[in-house]
Structure 1
Amino acid sequence: MEAQHQRTHDKGETQATHWHCNGILIGHAVSTFRELSSFGGSSQEDVVRFHFGLKGDYRFYYKQLDKHYDLVGGHHNIMYSRGFDITVYNKTLRLETFGIQFPRDLFVQFTQNASEPLQRFAADIMAGRHVMLSEQWGAIDTPIQQVIQQILHCRYAGDLRQLFLLSKSIELLVLCAESYQLANSRKDAFIRNKTDKEKIIAARDLVNERLHCPPNLSEIARAVGLNEYKLKRGFKETFHNTVFGYLTEQRLQLAHQYLRDTQKSAAEISAELGYATPQHFNNAFKKKFGVTPFLVRNNP
């Protein structure tokens, strides 16, 4: 079941979409503001919350943990508390977030025999402790971003839609847990201060905005104010991919979406996304997905 919601704040408004499946609540929200301000949120639902900050900078106070978090777009974490009260302070005029709420018992069922960090997290939940899965917020890398986009652009209906949303929610759980393990296994972080992290996020956003005419590494470095070495190292550390690898992934995923959801021909998509020739596009697409654009178009 899908539902649209609109909430008005003193300084702006939030447009949200919610999906329900098997007791799981999935939500996507875009908040726009006329000026920098704050707003609160609370809930008494006994659920485990996945939070994904997609775009925008903000900080929030989490009452049950008595902690402040200062975040830039492109982050995620999993949290649990009995009662949920937060105050959000936006630092940009547009925020985009995504979230999943698992019923407490269902989440424990999925994770109590999983990896060691998830087992500890599940044990804390069963003990009624207020916890975050990781003190370090994870970065939204390409696999996580792609699953979120697949949910937002789901074409299925009825029972098949329910099954799809359930499978993608579990996939995000696995990807998030893997992301935290990768971050914790890294001995020394290359990007250590918030300013540089914001610049790496800005580099990713610039790539996403220019998929059809991608900037080269020098252009990106100049635009965000980093030298090329720090850009390359920081991007790979944050998103587990090179700048060029990330660009290729995003272009091909967008091409796949166009083939499913629009009537654009493969040649039109190839030209729109900046490929030198349709054959170049066809070869890259087949290498990524194992099938040609023609087969995707004719087997929706």
Structure 2
Amino acid sequence: MEQQQQVKHEHGVMKFTRWNCDNILLGHSISTFTDYVDFPASSPTDVIRLHFGMKGNYSFSYRQLNRSFDLIGSHHNIMWSNGFDMVMQNKTLEIETFGIQFPKDLFIQYTQHASDQLKRFTEDIVNGRSSLFSERWAAIDPGIDQVIQQIIHCRYNGDLKKLFLLSKSIELLVLSADAYRTPVNQKDTIIKSSTDKEKIIAVRDLINERVSAPPNLSEIAKTVGLNEYKLKRGFKETFNTTVFGYLTEQRLHLAHRYLRDTQKTAAQIALELGYATPQHFNNAFKKKFGITPYSVRNNP
């Protein structure tokens, strides 16, 4: 069900983990490069691909779609062609991606009566037209990120793990499609350049790195080179939540994982994640998950 591998090549190293769940394939990879290069990628498989660019910037040309894309970290989309041939170029020295491949018949079964956009996408698949779910690549919001992290850090084994991966694959499909439900009016957006988009992604990464002792807004703004107004509005525009809301979500989901997977006490976790008191942590946790930290530890 799970395969881990490290592949060295002349321009760097790729570490990846793959899971096979009833012919649904999931994969997580971290690639590090020594320089900036073009490299081909191809596959003959006839599957629907959910692609999540978690960190790093890159471009690629996709022959079957007759399209090229230049992407900044934190993006996702759904695509289909009967096999693919691409040429990719890394724009950063580290790239992290996650993907899910659904067998065509199973994907059609799940989506042919779903949202209008999914039905149109499924129609293209049925009629053999190579297709991209959306012209706009949406940002990976906290909900999508948390499901991906749950898969990467899954602690289950055997049939329970298979059931867990199946449920999370479908959940990611739903969240990915739902991310495009509200059209974006480009005239109203404040983040218009790739430089500003990179700065907003840097804000997210800064919060993730310092979740236990986060910088304040003025420090973040100074670090990434944005004024506070543009930072706050641009972050909400990109991730569908405020900077503080994102920090709260990350803290609580990290706490949930620590309670499941480590022997740290709730008090230790509260202190490590920057809560003023264990009671404050307990209240926030219960509000988010509907149960106490004690319940997670004693009812895994």
TM-score normalised according to structure 1 size: 0.98
Aligned to 2:262: 262
- Distance in 2 (CA, whole Å) between partners of 1:30 and 1:46 is 24
How many residue pairs match? The answer is 300
- Unmatched tracts of structure 2, length 5 or more: none
Aligned to 2:194: 194
Aligned to 1:79: 79
Matched, 1:293 2:289: no
Q: Deviations over 1:143-162 (max 9, x none)?
A: 00000011111111111111
Aligned-pair distance for 1:37? 1.4
Aligned to 1:210: 210
Write the letter of the residue equivalent to 1:45.
Answer: T
Aligned to 1:5: 5
Cα root mean square deviation, aligned = 1.2
- Distance in 1 (CA, whole Å) between partners of 2:138 and 2:208 is 19
Please state whether the residue corresponding to 2:6 is helix, strand or coil: strand
Matched, 1:284 2:280: no
| Residues 235 and 242 in structure 1, CA contact (< 8 A), matched pair in contact too | yes
Please give the residue correspondences for 1:136-215 in structure 2 after superposition, counting only pairs within 5 Å: 136-184=136-184, 188-215=188-215
Write the letter of the residue equivalent to 2:87.
Answer: T
- Distance in 1 (CA, whole Å) between partners of 2:124 and 2:13 is 35
Please state whether the residue corresponding to 2:36 is helix, strand or coil: coil
- Distance in 2 (CA, whole Å) between partners of 1:296 and 1:236 is 31
Write the letter of the residue equivalent to 1:158.
Answer: G
- Unmatched tracts of structure 1, length 5 or more: none
Aligned-pair distance for 1:5? 2.2
Please state whether the residue corresponding to 2:180 is helix, strand or coil: helix
Write the letter of the residue equivalent to 1:190.
Answer: I
Aligned-pair distance for 1:245? 0.4
Q: Deviations over 1:35-66 (max 9, x none)?
A: 11122211000100010000111111111112
| Residues 20 and 26 in structure 1, CA contact (< 8 A), matched pair in contact too | yes
Write the letter of the residue equivalent to 1:283.
Answer: N
Kindly tell me: are residues 210 and 73 of structure 1, through their superposed partners in 2, closer, same or farther at Cα, counting changes over 3 Å?
Answer: same
Aligned to 2:21: 21
**For structure 1, which segment, 4-13 or 52-61, has the greater mean C-alpha deviation from structure 2 after superposition?**
4-13
Write the letter of the residue equivalent to 1:23.
Answer: N
Aligned-pair distance for 1:187? 6.8
Kindly tell me: are residues 9 and 182 of structure 1, through their superposed partners in 2, closer, same or farther at Cα, counting changes over 3 Å?
Answer: farther
- Distance in 2 (CA, whole Å) between partners of 1:49 and 1:17 is 16
| Residues 138 and 183 in structure 1, CA contact (< 8 A), matched pair in contact too | no
- Distance in 2 (CA, whole Å) between partners of 1:133 and 1:84 is 16
Aligned-pair distance for 1:83? 1.6
Matched, 1:121 2:117: no
Please state whether the residue corresponding to 1:182 is helix, strand or coil: coil
Aligned to 2:43: 43
Please state whether the residue corresponding to 1:181 is helix, strand or coil: coil
Write the letter of the residue equivalent to 2:219.
Answer: E
Kindly tell me: are residues 250 and 115 of structure 1, through their superposed partners in 2, closer, same or farther at Cα, counting changes over 3 Å?
Answer: same
Please give the residue correspondences for 1:48-127 in structure 2 after superposition, counting only pairs within 5 Å: 48-127=48-127
Q: Deviations over 1:70-115 (max 9, x none)?
A: 1111100000011211111111111100000000111111000000
Aligned to 1:239: 239
Aligned to 2:134: 134
Aligned-pair distance for 1:185? 7.1
Q: Deviations over 1:206-234 (max 9, x none)?
A: 00100010111111111111110011111
Aligned-pair distance for 1:9? 2.5
Matched, 1:227 2:223: no
- Distance in 1 (CA, whole Å) between partners of 2:38 and 2:161 is 35
- Distance in 2 (CA, whole Å) between partners of 1:172 and 1:35 is 33
Aligned-pair distance for 1:255? 0.5
Aligned-pair distance for 1:184? 4.3
- Distance in 1 (CA, whole Å) between partners of 2:9 and 2:188 is 41
- Distance in 2 (CA, whole Å) between partners of 1:182 and 1:238 is 13
| Residues 9 and 39 in structure 1, CA contact (< 8 A), matched pair in contact too | no
- Distance in 2 (CA, whole Å) between partners of 1:146 and 1:274 is 20
- Distance in 2 (CA, whole Å) between partners of 1:240 and 1:251 is 17
Aligned-pair distance for 1:7? 2.4
| Residues 285 and 291 in structure 1, CA contact (< 8 A), matched pair in contact too | yes
Write the letter of the residue equivalent to 2:106.
Answer: L
